Amino acid sequence: MANLFDQSEYPTTEPETIIVGDRLTWKREDLGADYAPASYALTYNARLEGAGSTTIAITASESGSNYIIEVGSSTTASYVIGTYHWSAFITNSASERIQLDSGKFEVIGNLASSTADPRSHAAKMVDYLEATLESLAQKLASAYSVSDRSNTLRSIEDTLRDLNYYKTVYNREVQKDRAKSGKKTGQNILVRF
């Protein structure tokens, strides 16, 4: 494993996940040939999905021909949890700017300090829909009326359809996490000749 406090060991791509309160580092070694750090500036702007006013701005520093991105723990401690869409911009000395790259990252809670449920949305939905299915299986009626109020219960078929969908999404998340940590994903098909 690399020492992520050592600049020479920084990842060379933007993170997919940022943990609130953790130091954040990466470098761009691929830009210096075309955009010498002494003459240009690299900045990142990110916006939280569904909350237009929640943004993150990061400015890279220069190290030889590389752009270095370092964000301290005290800064990331104030990041709002959620999915962000980011853009990377290069700016010249005349303040003319060009978007070079874009992507998404997820800001997640720090398990050491956050009391938020760490499960993904898909994992929560699988649990919720399984509980709903058990509840629906115990009901004798699918609709009822009392006085001037009526209620129709969710159908078992709709619940099963949604459960299958969220189980598929959740299983993909599990496989991605397992692959990321170097474990078997269950996706390999072994063939003997």
Q: Report the percent of the chain where pLDDT is more than 90.
A: 53
Domain boundaries defined on the chain:
7-108, 121-180
- Tell me the three-class secondary structure of 94-152, residue by residue: CCCEEEEEEEEEEEECCCCCCCCCCCCHHHHHHHHHHHHHHHHHCCCCCEEEECCEEEE
pLDDT tens string 53-80: 899 999 999 999 999 999 999 999 999 9
**Per CATH, the architecture of 7-108 is what?**
Sandwich (2.60)
DSSP lists the bridge partners of residue 26 as 69
With b meaning 16 or more CB within 10 Å and e meaning fewer, what string describes 156-191? eeebeebbeebbeebeeeeeeeeeeeeeeeeeeeee
pLDDT tens string 15-28: 999 999 999 999 99
Residue closest to 80 by CA, chosen among 106, 44, 118: 106
3-state secondary structure of 163: helix
Looking at the whole model, is its pTM more than 0.85?
Answer: no
**Residue of higher predicted confidence among 142 and 17:** 17
- 54 neighbors 80 (Cβ within 8 angstroms): yes
DSSP lists the bridge partners of residue 28 as 67
The pLDDT, as a whole number, for residue 62 is 94
